[in-house]
Amino acid sequence: MRGRGLEPTRIFLLLAFFVLGLGGFALGDVGILSRANLTSMAVFAVEIGIVALGQTFVICGGEGGIDLSVGAIAALAQVLLGLLLVAHMPWPLAIVIGLASGVVMGGVNALAITRFTIPPIIVTLATMFAFNGLALVFTGGINIDLTTMPPSFLALGQGSAFGLPLQLAAVYLPLLLLFVFLQHFSRFGRALYLAGTSELAARLAGIRTGELRGWTYVISGLLSSLAGVIGAARLGTARPDAAEQMNLVSIAIVVLGGTGIFGGDGSVIGTAVATAVIAVVDYGLSYNNINPIYQAGVMGIILITLVLAENMVRGRGGLRRVRSYWVRATSGDPLQDS
């Protein structure tokens, strides 16, 4: 058994979706193809895309790996950053502290999941509410205005470089390269694939699987806080209720990008292309003034449909599963289908 890694077919399919989606919205209103709109789309994609990179690693690690607290971490980091900025702390230092808070929050998840062996769903569901609650407590439930902060800080979310939004050129693309390297060309990535594919095999190979998975949550925490920081700079405000749908959307992106929810396969390249697709869908819906609640609903439908289709194709559900079930039941063969 080995990790499936990158599937070129899926990348082409996703690119086709991207073009179709964009074309579809353009049929409704060509205005969506304007430079300003495409830039806004890219800007939106960066934040959720960064979070999805971390989520990819968490899910790839297997054993029910999932991080539901990403949005809450982004919100709390953003709020901390905002409070420090309002207290006249130099902005680079405030950003470092904001990012450090993300590492700490990811560390809390990692510790609870690997040391105390609590299932990831419960841990990250609990920390999601805890971090969101803390963000509300720290701000008293009101938004912090950051529009009067130094332009050099706001440029992080509003500037541009090489004709691209600054956060895309200077943050997301380098990060993506780093993650491609980490996943496909480093020992960490190979170990993670193995741990996600087979816990036992990974342990026999001498991999400390708990530690390995722990790091994926720390990475996810750091990236979520980074997304929070960029969001604060982009909107010039720190909101305790920012990024509420981030967990759902990031998981949808990861699954759409070809990382199976059972771990051990997928690629951050798939995640990156899927981010573009989701960004088009989400922006297209916003552009047509669709209520955010409906957008979340559409994301839910996309997520479930994808996993269902995935299961059919891979034979984890659907006919093959049923058939193998009957074969096992009638012949007494204890082997699982693989």
* Residues in contact with other proteins by the rule CB under 8 A: 64, 66, 68, 112, 115-119, 121-123, 125-134, 136-137, 140-141, 210, 245, 247-248, 251, 255, 261-262, 291, 293-294, 296-301, 303-304, 307-308, 311, 316-317, 321
Main-chain phi, psi angles of 161, to 5 degrees: -145, 140
Question: Closest CB to other proteins among 64 and 92?
Answer: 64
Minimum separation from the CB atom of position 48 to other proteins (A): 15
Question: Closest CB to other proteins among 75 and 94?
Answer: 75
**What span, in angstroms and rounded, lies between the C-alpha atoms of 143 and 150?**
18
Question: Closest CB to other proteins among 168 and 285?
Answer: 285
Residue corresponding to tokens 């990831």:
120
Whether 70 contacts 224, CB under 8 Å: yes
Question: Closest CB to other proteins among 247 and 267?
Answer: 247
Question: Closest CB to other proteins among 47 and 199?
Answer: 199
Minimum separation from the CB atom of position 118 to other proteins (A): 5
Element (H, E) at 161: strand 160-161
Minimum separation from the CB atom of position 112 to other proteins (A): 6
How many Å separate Cα 166 from the centre of its chain? 20
Minimum separation from the CB atom of position 121 to other proteins (A): 5
Residue type, 302: I
Question: Closest CB to other proteins among 118 and 173?
Answer: 118
Minimum separation from the CB atom of position 8 to other proteins (A): 25
Minimum separation from the CB atom of position 275 to other proteins (A): 18
Q: Please, what is the Cα angle at 162 between 270 and 30, to 5 degrees?
A: 70
Helices (H), the chain: 8-28, 35-60, 70-86, 91-110, 120-139, 151-158, 166, 173-185, 187-197, 199-204, 209-235, 246-256, 268-287, 292-314, 318-331
The pair of structure tokens assigned to 97 is 């502290």
Minimum separation from the CB atom of position 251 to other proteins (A): 7
**What span, in angstroms and rounded, lies between the C-alpha atoms of 211 and 98?**
24
**Residue 219: CB partners within 8 Å, gap ≥ 6?**
54, 57, 106
**What span, in angstroms and rounded, lies between the C-alpha atoms of 203 and 316?**
25
Question: Closest CB to other proteins among 89 and 125?
Answer: 125
